[in-house]
Amino acid sequence: MGLGLHLVHKIVTEHCGTIHYSYEAPDVIFTVAIPLAAPAAPTEIAPTAFANGNRVK
């Protein structure tokens, strides 16, 4: 991979996308797919009962 394609790969994978290629002499065709929306992040549960092993009110 050249530097440009390496950077594209990094950006695309960080956005949960994919890169595919096909070779039809003399051409190489790259297909880049990136989801329209980011995957849902896990929800955090606010610490309410304990903090650092000590009970809080």
Please tell me the predicted confidence (pLDDT) of residue 33. Answer: 94
Length of the chain: 57
- The whole-angstrom separation of Cα 15 and Cα 8 is 11
pLDDT number for residue 57: 57
Q: Give first-to-last CA distance, the chain, whole Å.
A: 57
The domain ranges of the chain are 1-38
Helix (H) or strand (E) holding 4: helix 3-14
Quote the CA–CA distance of 48 and 32 in Å, as a whole number: 44
What is the pLDDT at residue 52? 62
Give the Cα separation of 11 and 36 in Å (integer): 15
pLDDT digits (tens, 9 = 90+) for 1-57: 568 889 999 999 999 999 999 998 999 999 999 998 876 777 776 655 555 666 655
Which of the 8 DSSP states describes residue 37? S
**Whole-structure pTM value:** 0.53
